[in-house]
Structure 1
């Protein structure tokens, strides 16, 4: 049965404020919880953080005090939602364990979006990015075994393969080649807008996480790896945010944010296996329905347009966390040697790419390669030797 958020009313805003007791959610048990429950938690935290940051930016550019007040009212509730969601993660998990879970999110969320994306150009953007997140998962898996002497498979539970993707040192490109062509807001499928906002938010969360946790390690190799991949996540945020039409008004962006939250909370509520977590998804969905109606009223009053002009009348099929092994192996077989040139993709190394590679990689090599070398020295083997099949890393052709 279709779900039509524009026709549904949620919990009135003045009844959404929660007490400290209500915000004190019980965290998941990392040893007995579906890994995809953790993935849904991480995803929704990124979505809520983006909603809060967007609202702050909107307020900083808005001259109307009454609009600022309304944004502040809704934003405080969004901030409570973010705390409830993020605090579902267990405090017993190490930073590296959470990192591996973040990369599992990046891999399976982006792969699913790429499979479902109706626009070929946007689909290629997601296919390109997911092969890099795939390799980040592999590099962190090597580091995890070195530092904590455990296997990443224990975290991803076999749902996501841990093996090489596009060679991480090759992710460093001239910044101008990270900017893509935006979709056209007047012609694109509403689902494409939700996809772009979702993946941008997830990558932004990962970028922020690595920026903050990287220097908390004492091991030099860990500090270096977080620094390198943190810079690549900055590239990914540039890559994905540039897909969004810059001509969207603040009001359009506001309703898109709220609609996307309804879409994701509804999706995750439909598939959640943890009863307590599912109750939070349901509660937040009913809150977001009201946030959406508030945003729609603001758009009608201040933008002079009906939000139905830019939003889908009903939610698309639920966004689903599920294994994407065959799809990713197909991408590895066909797209591993791509890089970017301008707003497109090429298989040949070009001058800007080669110059960036020469300028950033020192004689000691990239930290992501140092991790593999140290892992091999310590254990006498490459991590991938225990995975199903090996995948050579093709090099870009010299132009």
Structure 2
């Protein structure tokens, strides 16, 4: 039976505050935990952080003191949720190991969303981005073996392949070509809005993480690679956030944020393999049901609308972390040489693209190429984790002047 969060009451707000003992959760065991348990933790941290940042921005743009107080109360409780979720990650792992897990999230979450997205225009946006995350995973995996002398297969556990995607050096585009046309809030399916919010949140979390951990490394190649890929994450956040209709009201977006949290906690409660972590997802779902109720009341009061107009009648099928190897290889075969032009996608290395490439890469290879060259020099070959034979593309292609493809509105 489908689950409709709008029909359920959660834990009352005055019973949600947790003490230090309750917040002091034990982290997962990095050597024995299901890699997708770690992926779910990383995903929910990104979702909680986005909800917090949105609530702060809402408060800064709201003159109603009663609303500001309601936002503050819910926001504090969601800060506690974020602390529990993110503190499930073990302190014994390095930032680079967490980075590889972040990229595994980006690959398998975005690929799953692309497969499930009903709007072809939005599907193309996710397909385009996932091939770049796929390559980032490959570059970081090579760095990991170089500076920590360990292999990424221990982290991804064969669930996600580690092979080249669209080469990172070709991800650098003129900022104007990272802005997509938004969906139409009046006609777009509710699931499409949840997908857009989820992927935007995940990419924003990754961008923030790289901005902060990159300079903590001493190795020059590590500092340089984080700097390069960190700039690409800026492009990705621009790419995904521009898909959201700017005509959505603050109240509408508040409901979508809370509804999406219910959707994801409910999804992960259904699919979690670790019973202890599953209990946390269930607890947080019951908290979010009450946060959603508050948001829905604000929508009715200030927008004069019913939440069903925004959310639809029931939750979609659960978000699932699962291997996407065949799907990604199909995208590698058909979309590896795409870049963007305006709001669409082309195979043409157009003038703005070439100017950006020359400005960044004109004096020598970027860090994403240097890390592979140095790995090959040290080990005789690059690091790859292929579970289905060799990568079908021997020489990964740059965008070529062969015309355009679809994806424009």
Q: TM-score, normalised by structure 2?
A: 0.96
- 1:63 is matched with 63
Q: CA deviation at 1:385?
A: 8.5
Between the aligned partners of 1:26 and 1:62, the Cα distance in structure 2 is: 38
Per-residue deviation, residues 148-192 of structure 1 (Å, max 9, x unmatched): 111101100000000000000000000000000100000001000
The answer to whether the aligner puts 1:377 opposite 2:380 as a matched pair is no
SS in 2 for 1:56: helix
The answer to whether the aligner puts 1:202 opposite 2:205 as a matched pair is no
Q: CA deviation at 1:398?
A: 3.5
SS in 1 for 2:286: helix
Q: CA deviation at 1:386?
A: 6.9
- 1:394 is matched with 397
The answer to whether the aligner puts 1:234 opposite 2:237 as a matched pair is no
What are the equivalent positions in structure 2 for 1:174-323 lying under 5 Å apart? 174-323=174-323
Between the aligned partners of 1:227 and 1:159, the Cα distance in structure 2 is: 27
Per-residue deviation, residues 262-308 of structure 1 (Å, max 9, x unmatched): 00000000010111100000000000000000000011111111111
What are the equivalent positions in structure 2 for 1:6-45 lying under 5 Å apart? 6-45=6-45
SS in 1 for 2:188: coil
Aligned length: 399
Between the aligned partners of 2:384 and 2:254, the Cα distance in structure 1 is: 44
The answer to whether the aligner puts 1:104 opposite 2:114 as a matched pair is no
What are the equivalent positions in structure 2 for 1:68-217 lying under 5 Å apart? 68-217=68-217
SS in 1 for 2:135: helix
Between the aligned partners of 2:237 and 2:140, the Cα distance in structure 1 is: 20
Q: 1:396 to 1:333 in 2, by over 3 A?
A: same
Between the aligned partners of 2:108 and 2:399, the Cα distance in structure 1 is: 26
> How large is the RMSD of aligned CA atoms in angstroms?
1.0
Q: CA deviation at 1:364?
A: 2.5
Between the aligned partners of 1:380 and 1:250, the Cα distance in structure 2 is: 55
Per-residue deviation, residues 236-274 of structure 1 (Å, max 9, x unmatched): 000000000000000000000000000000000001011
Q: TM-score, normalised by structure 1?
A: 0.99
8 Å contact kept, 2:161–2:385: no
- 1:363 is matched with 363
Q: 1:385 to 1:94 in 2, by over 3 A?
A: closer
Per-residue deviation, residues 316-338 of structure 1 (Å, max 9, x unmatched): 00000000000000000000000
Gaps of 5+ in 2: 403-409
Between the aligned partners of 1:103 and 1:123, the Cα distance in structure 2 is: 19
Q: CA deviation at 1:19?
A: 0.2
Q: CA deviation at 1:363?
A: 2.2
Gaps of 5+ in 1: none
8 Å contact kept, 2:163–2:385: no
Q: CA deviation at 1:309?
A: 1.1
